[in-house]
Amino acid sequence: MNNDQDKVNKIKRELAKLRQFRNRCYVCHVSWHKRGMTFHHIKYHKNENTHSDFVNGYVGTLQYYEYLKPIIKKNPKRFAYLCNSHHQTVTKLLQFNHDKQDRIFKLVRKSR
């Protein structure tokens, strides 16, 4: 693991300890996942940077989390702490409108 990745993980672990996040994935309750953990924006504010506004790689990810850290600390209710697997699921579902999401969830609940 490189130094920037270590710094990113340290920031994530520090933020995960905030009461809002309970040091676990909101969905599956794991405290750490082999594919990593991340913070999901429940709500973006206008003119707020996103991960894609930073350079690719660990340098950009570190810059992004250094930027995000005070934002999360100021208003943690705007975020959810998720394992990367569940973050990808949430992100994928957000591609669909509410009607399609409802139909997907209805089908999932029927499929037992």
Q: Are 70 and 14 in contact (CB under 8 A)?
A: no
Report the 10 Å Cβ neighbour count for 101. Answer: 13
Express each pLDDT in 68-109 by its tens digit: 999 999 999 999 999 999 999 999 999 999 999 999 999 999
Distance of CA 26 to the CA centre of its chain: 10
Tens-place pLDDT, residues 22-69:
999 999 999 988 889 999 999 999 999 999 999 999 999 999 999 999
Give the whole-angstrom CA distance, residue 44 versus residue 100: 22
Q: Is the pLDDT of residue 1 over 80?
A: no
Amino acid at 10: K
Name the strand (E) or helix (H) holding 99. Answer: helix 98-110
